[in-house]
Amino acid sequence: MATFLQQLINGISQGSAYALIALGYTMVYGVLRLINFAHGDVYMFGAYMGFYLANNKWIQSNVGTSTAGAVVVMVGAMALSAGLGIVIERFAYRPGRSGARFTLAFWLGIVGAGIGHLVHPSLISLAIGALGGILVGVILEQTGLRPVRQNSRLSLLIIAIGVSLVLENGGQQVFGVDPKFFPQIISTTLWHVGELTIDSQKVIVLAVSILLMLLLNLFVKYTRTGKAMRAVSFNLDAARLMGINTDRIIALTFAIGSALAAAGGILVSLLYPKIDPLMGIMPGLKAFVAAVLGGIGNITGAMLGGLIVGMAEVMAVGYGQSTYRDAIAFIILILILLLKPAGIMGKGVVEKV
Amino acid sequence: MRKWIYWLVAIAALAGLQASLKGLIGAYNYQIVILVGINIILAVSLNLINGVTGQFSIGHAGFYAVGAYASASVVFYGGPSIRAAVAFLPAMAQDGVLLLMGSFAAAITAGLAGLAVGIPSLRLRGDYLAIVTLGFGEIIRVLILNLDVIGGSRGFSGIPQLSNFFWVYLAVLITIISIHNLVHSSYGRAFVSVRDDEIAAEAMGVDTTRIKVMSFVISSMFAGIAGSLFGHYTMYLHPNSFLFTTSFNIIIMIVIGGLGSIEGAVLGAILITIILEVFREFGAMRLVNFSILLVLIMLYRPQGLLGTWTLFKKRDRAAPAN
């Protein structure tokens, strides 16, 4: 019984981290009907941003390494990741929707920066390369090379896979291939309750996740922007006709989702401090499973799905089936989808003929 | 009669190339050519599900793995007795018999796996189906990882090398011709009708469920054969060769080439295999450029490189997916 309770605690904290990532998947899916495969890599990015902020001398000396420091690291990483989310949306997904400008300039800028760095590994040649790439991109765009409006969901999915690959490979390039160790930004205490050992880190993970989810729920339910978000997710075209700036709402959705993923990244890094550029792949996939499990597009469903997946995984490991760990989430998913094809909280879509 | 002559010529040409190719292009390029062939089979077969039938499968690597392991175990464990049964044949023909038996077993097991995945597709659509196929692929991989009799996490080693240029490209020919003929038959029109409008197809009397399951089973069988050829070429199998990233690569091939077109799948398989192989020698930065190229192609040419272009202009091809 004590083992079970112990595993339950581990499961809830692991699950709440999955839930945070799953929220981003489900929100983006809600507004764009897109499986944003790059989301798991945003989670990785968030963890790295946390790592660099926590090791930043200025923050260490001016804010300190106490709770305030941890909050600054967390909020900073969330803000940076939100920025990344907006950039991804603007240059990878929006061009296919409404032909956004400077798309080519952006991507060629990255290519140029890479080439510049390859020619001579210094910041100046990197900047020159980036400027060259941007210039070529702008000129090509002036000649009439514009992104094509996307009709196919599959090509949008390939774009998502492409962005995910850019982040993974770019992460290996920028952050280095070797794993890094996430600093203990919050000191650990162990509480003993009867036979149970409760790790304060796990409590923090749980508390922060619940707080963030609560804030998200309040935001989506009770603010005007939240209402607009729900409207966009209900019907994008109708929302635009009602005067909602849909591009802005979609960007905001990406920002919030990415910030939550970053929070998840930092919280998980508190529990498992090893971070590497490919760390987002598996959690991203499982969080996506969690989102589908709960009924994709449904915020409460994503939280529930995250808890179920996290719990099942921890239980499987705790009861000696650790080699099956990566399969557990999918097995549950398939079982639930066989019973409820739209997920636990998802509403079945009535097909119009 | 003429058909048979074509086949004889093709087989003779393949055999001739088999004898001379390695010397002509070197061992490294030869290996890339083999990989290209295997990926063509994978891409053309996945194209049947994603391009022609309009279903959304992102777990092709699972069937590929099932085929690879099934064939490898048949040959590894049953090899000596099969060889004894056909001992009167020369050694090369014995290898051929073994490979055929292995590939047959691969096709059957992978087909059964396809049936198992196809059945949930009766109820699921779009992204839900996608994630279930991805899930099946991962479950298969984890199961293999835990099966000690086929190597588990150590990998399956000691597989005899049986496949070569001749067998791989013979399988490529058979795959392309079978799927081409299937798509252009009345059955094939049923596949396309499910993609274009499932409800209308059902109203016209197409058994959409059956068609969907059929597309999964047929496609999986070819993926299984590809797996068999892969295992008997590399002589070593590890579950990590069949990660979902492998499935993603196959999808990238068919979408880059032009979804729904066999020519596109072939072109995509050739391009992506070569690009990935060439980039392997350089570091992550080149891979970043590859992924950016991927994004840009999709943004500026979402219909794929070939789009609606087709090699056989006169025949009506299966209309491109949209």
**DSSP code per residue over A198-236:** EEHHHHHHHHHHHHHHHHHHHHHHHSHHHHHHHHHHH-H
Strand partners, A199: A190
Mutate to test the interface with A, among B124, B131, B208 (most CBs of A within 10 A): B131
Distance to chain B for A327, nearest Cα, Å = 5
Enumerate domains of chain A plus CATH numbers. 2-95+153-339 (1.10.3470), 101-146 (no CATH)
- The CA distance from A10 to A3, in Å, is 11
| Buried-exposed string A111-143: b where 16+ CB fall within 10 A, e elsewhere | bbbbbbbeeeeeeebbebbbebbbebbeeebee
- pLDDT at residue number B12: 85
Q: Quick one: pLDDT at residue A225?
A: 92
Contact of B30 with B186, CB cutoff 8 Å: no
Tens-digit pLDDT string for chain B (322 aa): 778 888 888 888 888 888 787 778 888 888 889 999 999 999 999 999 988 888 888 889 999 999 999 999 998 888 788 888 877 888 778 888 888 989 999 999 999 999 988 887 777 777 778 888 888 898 999 899 888 888 888 888 888 888 888 899 999 999 999 999 998 888 888 998 988 888 898 898 888 888 889 999 999 999 999 999 999 999 899 988 898 888 988 998 998 888 888 888 999 999 989 888 877 666 666 778 888 888 888 888 888 877 766 665 544 444 454 4
Is A102 in CB contact (< 8 Å) with chain B? no
DSSP letters along A39-63, please? HHHHHHHHHHHHHHHHT-HHHHHHT
The half-sphere exposure of B233 on its side-chain side, counting CA atoms within 13 A, is: 23
Cα–Cα distance measured from residue B297 to residue B256, given in angstroms and rounded to the nearest whole number:
7
Rg (CA), chain B: 19
Residue B322 has its nearest CB partner, among A152, A159, A341, at A152
Over residues A90-94, the mean pLDDT reads 91
Q: Residue B308 is which amino acid?
A: T
Phi and psi, residue A134, nearest 5°: -60, -45
Using CA atoms, how far apart are residues B172 and B39, in angstroms rounded to an integer? 9
Per-residue tokens: A240: 């635009």
Give every CB contact of residue B80 below 8 A, 6+ residues apart in sequence.
Answer: none
In chain A, DSSP assigns E strands to 180-181, 190-193, 196-199, 274-275
Comparing CB atoms, the residue among B139, B285, B301 nearest residue A114 is: B285
Token readout for B91 is: 């050694």
Chain A contact for B288 (CB, 8 A cutoff): yes
With contacts defined as CB-CB under 8 Å, which chain B residues touch A166?
Answer: 288, 291-292, 295
Q: Tell me the pTM.
A: 0.87
Phi, psi for residue A192 in degrees, rounded to 5 = -110, 115
SS3 of chain B: helix, strand, coil, percent, to 5: 80, 0, 20
Report which of B237, B242, B222, B212 is spatially closest to residue B107, judged by C-alpha positions.
B222
Probe site for chain A from B299, B301, B322 (most A CB atoms < 10 A): B299
Q: Is the dihedral of CA A244, A245, A248, A254 positive or negative?
A: positive
Residue A305's nearest CA partner among A297, B148, B292 is A297
Structural domains of chain B sorted by starting position, each given as residue range(s) with its CATH number in brackets: 2-253 (1.10.3470)
Contacts of B88 (CB under 8 A, 6+ apart): none
A170 to B132: CB separation less than 8 angstroms, yes or no: no
The pLDDT assigned to B312 comes to 59
Given CB atoms, is B300 within the 8 Å cutoff of chain A? yes
B156 sits in which H/E element: strand B156-157
CA B266, chain centre distance (Å): 11
Greatest Cα pair distance, chain B, in angstroms, is 59
pLDDT value at A352 more than 70: no
ipTM value greater than 0.95: no
Which of A2, A3, A20 is CA-nearest to residue A310? A20
Query: Which residue does chain A place closest to B301, by CA atoms?
Result: A148
